Amino acid sequence: MKTLIYGAGPIGRWLALRLQQAGKDVTLFARNETYRSIEERGIEIVDGLTGERLAARPKLVDRLDPEDHYDLVVVAMQKSGRMAVCPLLAQNEHLKNILFLGNDVSGFQHYLDHLPEDRVLLGFPGLGGGWEGDDLVIMDREKTGGPLGEIFIGELDGAIRPRTVQIRNVFDAAGIGVSIEKDMDGWLKYHFAFMAPTAGVIFMKGGDLRAVASDKEAIHQYCRACREAGNVLREIGFRKRQPPVFNLYYWLPRWLEPVVFSKLFGSRSAEVRFGLHARTVGPELLELADEFTVLKSLAGMETPDLDTLLDCVSQQPAAGGMEVAS
């Protein structure tokens, strides 16, 4: 499939690099200074696990014309960016499949306001990272030599169609696993139910993950906040907790919470996936928090611990304009 990666942030660059390394027909869309920088220096990514520097020079464009043809467009941007490009994408009838990759809480109607349902898919990249100075650091596997992190994708109605399998095969060929989800809208909502408390507890401890790992009460509060967020979703009809690991917040005995999560927050993987990502998350997290507040009002539930951690996010000066990793 002829593929366009629309958005040259961390995830867009990572996808372009991995697909080009696999010999796929991939083009990266970037604009302005980002375009000029990649045109001059190419893409360079630091492996968050090994420190290895990966480099690629994919095909690069800075405009999308109505007559351009692509079998797959992967829109890898902050939510506000994804919303902004919908009218432009709608002008081109030759973009067969458009995969919107990233965080969302408010459903998918905003895409359908511009695009027909048969062209739209939702997804999320199962990796993390962000900028450390001038270095783009990505953690895309759990151990050296292990498989790359999964991408989660799904049709709006949960069906598995020939194109769903074709898209999976594109990523599979690059060593990127794909999990096809039957309820991607619910999956994204539950992802936020985990992501928001994670960012909040990190900010509460000044961005120091080791401080989180050593604070038992902070870990207990974090777990309570995740349960509260999950309870909100269950109350408004999203009864399946997903991915299944989210059930850990409910099933794990309270005394085991510090044991399990201190190890998690103290790991190198968490430093890149959670800490670095949280410190570079930008305004997207605040937008999502506002959307989740609407869901909370529908549920009519008290969420004291979740509210506390969301307040920690909203108080961060960095929330005003830094780049989101996905």
Specify the amino acid at residue 50: T
Looking up residue 176, the CATH number of its domain turns out to be: 3.40.50.720
pLDDT over 70 percentage in the chain: 93
Q: Which tens digit of pLDDT belongs to each residue from 69-124?
A: 999 999 999 888 899 999 999 999 999 999 999 999 999 999 999 999 999 999 99
Looking at the DSSP bridge assignments, the partners of residue 53 are 46
At 282 the pLDDT is 62
Of 182, 199, 230, at which residue does a domain stop? 182
Domain contains 326: no
Write out the two tokens for 312.
């920690």
| 140 within 8 A of 17, measured Cβ to Cβ | no
- Note the pTM of the prediction, 2 decimals: 0.91
Question: Alpha-carbon distance 137 to 149, whole Å?
Answer: 15
Backbone angles phi, psi at 109, to 5 degrees: -60, -30
Q: Which tens digit of pLDDT belongs to each residue from 10-65?
A: 999 999 999 999 999 999 999 999 999 999 999 999 988 888 999 999 999 999 99
- Do both 312 and 262 map to the same domain? yes
Query: Where residue 158 falls among pLDDT bands split at 50, 70, 90?
Result: very high
- Do both 199 and 70 map to the same domain? no
At 150 the pLDDT is 86
CA atoms within 13 Å, Cβ hemisphere of 156: 17
**Count of structural domains, the chain:** 2
At 133 the pLDDT is 83
- Do both 193 and 293 map to the same domain? yes
pLDDT over 90 percentage in the chain: 73
Specify the amino acid at residue 110: H
DSSP symbol at 322: P
- Do both 165 and 192 map to the same domain? no
Helices 284-299 and 304-314: crossing angle in degrees, nearest 10, is 160
- Do both 115 and 241 map to the same domain? no
Question: Alpha-carbon distance 195 to 201, whole Å?
Answer: 10
In 3-state terms, what secondary structure has residue 44? strand
- Do both 97 and 134 map to the same domain? yes
Question: Alpha-carbon distance 283 to 81, whole Å?
Answer: 11
Annotate 225-254 with b (16+ C-beta within 10 A) or e (fewer).
Answer: bbbbbbbbbbebebeebbeeebebbeeeee
In 3-state terms, what secondary structure has residue 68? coil
Of 182, 202, 218, at which residue does a domain stop? 182
- Do both 162 and 192 map to the same domain? no
At 128 the pLDDT is 81
Domain span at 309: 186-320
Q: In what order do the strands lie in the sheet with 128-132?
A: 53-56, 43-47, 135-139, 128-132
Write out the two tokens for 132.
């450390």
- Do both 172 and 26 map to the same domain? yes
Query: Where residue 147 falls among pLDDT bands split at 50, 70, 90?
Result: low
Backbone angles phi, psi at 55, to 5 degrees: -135, 150
Domain contains 156: yes
At 276 the pLDDT is 66
In 3-state terms, what secondary structure has residue 61? strand
- Say yes or no to pLDDT of 240 above 90: yes
Of 163, 182, 201, at which residue does a domain stop? 182
- Do both 216 and 234 map to the same domain? yes
Question: Alpha-carbon distance 32 to 10, whole Å?
Answer: 16
Backbone angles phi, psi at 231, to 5 degrees: -65, -35
Q: Which tens digit of pLDDT belongs to each residue from 289-326?
A: 889 999 999 999 999 999 999 998 888 764 433 333 33
- Do both 195 and 149 map to the same domain? no
Query: Where residue 143 falls among pLDDT bands split at 50, 70, 90?
Result: low
